[in-house]
Copies of this chain bind each other. A is one copy, B any other.
Amino acid sequence: MLDSALDTNNPLTIDLSTTYTTCRLHSVALATPLSEADMQIQAAQFASPGKWHLAHTSWFFDTFLLKPNDLSPTGFIGFDYLFNSYYESVGQRQAQANRGLISRPSLSEIMDYRHAVDDGIQTLLGTALTLDQINLIKLGINHEQQHQELFLTDILYHLSHNPLFPAYDAYANLNTHTEPSELEFIPFEGGLSYIGFDGSDFSYDNETPRHQHFLQPFKLANQLVTNANWINFIEDEDFNNPLLWLSDGWIAKQKENWQMPLYWHRTDLGYQTFSLKGLTALDMEAPVRHISYFEAEAYARWVGKRLPTEFEWEYALINDPSNQLKQTFNQLWQWTSSPYIGYPGFEVSEDAVGEYNGKFMNGQYVLKGSSFATALYHSRVSYRNFFYPHLRWQFCGLRLAE
């Protein structure tokens, strides 16, 4: 679901084997601070256990590369069923809500599986690869990098249900703070512009076909909305005024009783927030995070602005020669007002990999940029992340337009 560009976009990358290995080791490194029990728990259907991420990313290589080449490791009974995520074409799969109940295979057996898959891929890499195979390996690496971000997103969500507020890593770098500058709205001309991936390296199918799109003139904020901004919003009486909200947003707000961003706590010591570092005081100048599309949209209306479209965001990044736009990548994903649909001419490919993006093109919104948890070299202007408008557990914030 998450998407990001491959290390292979990195000009320094020497060969696919090194890229593969680097990626695979990084997933394991992310699990270092966690116990077997931490890796097992699942607090909601939409968030998977840490252990499952380690297994599923290996299943992907196994299913789409090793099995067709008779290199699939033996002795891992039931793994094809247990660690399939949503690939209907590949066969049956474990119910998503019950992933947290799979105490066996154990974490140690999952690690054995990872190593066996790695051996298989290295064997394959030693042969003469077809272009299709190369592309599948690149896709597998990108897929795993997406799960590296999801791994952190999900672990934070799981741990947040523990009233002891345990830290994932007290020294984690969350990239939460940037020297503040004054809020400015940068003007852009628009016109008939090209949108979509134009590189020669890896991209996802949903970034294509590159096509022309007509844009009115617009302005884009030079920075993200901050926690201090957000407190003004939630402490204003209009925060609970239904006229400020989309109808579906108001229903979601009432149902889930949104009074603050996810993970915030109002305490005797003021606002605190739970993050991968544990529970800490809120940094007022840091960009607000863990807000839904509905909240972002209402905020924009409250300040008399709006969210940008994905096309404005992409166009602005390309046409910002003086680098006036700050906090574009590696901070937070940024909600846009664009429903996630296929570009003109987009077609869902017919094989299993075709299930990757196309079938989710309903009811979600595009997010642009990338977050502190996004893999290195994984950020590009054409990248289209997407989530449902009521979800808040992602590392996401907002940038205003007018």
List residues of chain A with CB under 8 Å of any chain B CB. 35-41, 43, 51, 77-78, 81-82, 86, 88-89, 94, 98, 100-107, 158-159, 161-164, 166, 192, 211-214, 216, 242-243, 245-250, 294, 301, 337, 339, 341, 344-345, 348, 350, 355, 359-363, 389
Which residue on chain B has the smallest CB distance to residue A78?
Answer: B164
Task: Return the 5 tightest CB-CB contacts between A and B, nearest first.
Answer: A339-B339, A37-B103, A88-B242, A214-B214, A38-B103
B362 and A78 contact, CB distance less than 8 A: no
Residues of B within 8 A of A250 (CB): 88, 359
The distance from the CB of A372 to the nearest CB of chain B, in whole angstroms, is 24
Kindly identify which residue among B40, B159, B248, B350 contacts A362, using a CB–CB cutoff of 8 Å.
B248
Residues of B within 8 A of A164 (CB): 77-78, 82, 104-105
7 extra interchain contacts, Cβ-Cβ under 8 A, other than A38-B104, A100-B100, A246-B361?
A36-B37, A41-B103, A78-B164, A104-B166, A192-B192, A214-B214, A247-B359
- In the bound complex, what is the Cα–Cα distance between A115 and B291 (angstroms)? 44
Kindly identify which residue among B102, B247, B341, B363 contacts A337, using a CB–CB cutoff of 8 Å.
B341
- In the bound complex, what is the Cα–Cα distance between A106 and B36 (angstroms)? 9
Kindly identify which residue among B344, B355, B361 contacts A243, using a CB–CB cutoff of 8 Å.
B355
Kindly identify which residue among B38, B163, B243, B348 contacts A82, using a CB–CB cutoff of 8 Å.
B163
Ordered by A's residue number, 6 sampled pairs between the chains whose C-beta atoms are within 8 Å are A38-B104, A43-B98, A43-B101, A105-B164, A246-B361, A247-B360
Residues of B within 8 A of A35 (CB): 36, 103-104, 106
Given contact pairs A78-B164, A88-B242, A101 touches B41 in the complex (Cβ within 8 A): yes
Given contact pairs A106-B37, A216-B211, A248-B362, A78 touches B163 in the complex (Cβ within 8 A): yes
Please tell me how many copies of the chain the complex holds. Answer: 4
Kindly identify which residue among B40, B245, B362 contacts A37, using a CB–CB cutoff of 8 Å.
B40
Most buried by B among A37, A166, A192, A245: A37
Residues of B within 8 A of A94 (CB): 163
- In the bound complex, what is the Cα–Cα distance between A38 and B51 (angstroms)? 13
Kindly identify which residue among B40, B163, B337, B341 contacts A40, using a CB–CB cutoff of 8 Å.
B40
Kindly identify which residue among B36, B102, B213, B247 contacts A36, using a CB–CB cutoff of 8 Å.
B36
Residues of B within 8 A of A361 (CB): 246
The distance from the CB of A361 to the nearest CB of chain B, in whole angstroms, is 7
Residues of B within 8 A of A102 (CB): 162
Kindly identify which residue among B86, B101, B243, B248 contacts A162, using a CB–CB cutoff of 8 Å.
B101
Residues of B within 8 A of A101 (CB): 41, 43, 158, 161-162
Residues of B within 8 A of A337 (CB): 341
A100 and B41 contact, CB distance less than 8 A: yes
Which residue on chain B has the smallest CB distance to residue A351?
Answer: B243
Most buried by B among A104, A166, A246: A104
- In the bound complex, what is the Cα–Cα distance between A15 and B120 (angstroms)? 62
The distance from the CB of A298 to the nearest CB of chain B, in whole angstroms, is 11
Most buried by B among A294, A355, A363: A363
- In the bound complex, what is the Cα–Cα distance between A362 and B341 (angstroms)? 13
- In the bound complex, what is the Cα–Cα distance between A104 and B51 (angstroms)? 16
Residues of B within 8 A of A40 (CB): 36-37, 40-41, 103
Residues of B within 8 A of A339 (CB): 339, 341
A89 and B216 contact, CB distance less than 8 A: no
Kindly identify which residue among B100, B341, B345, B355 contacts A216, using a CB–CB cutoff of 8 Å.
B345
Residues of B within 8 A of A82 (CB): 163-164
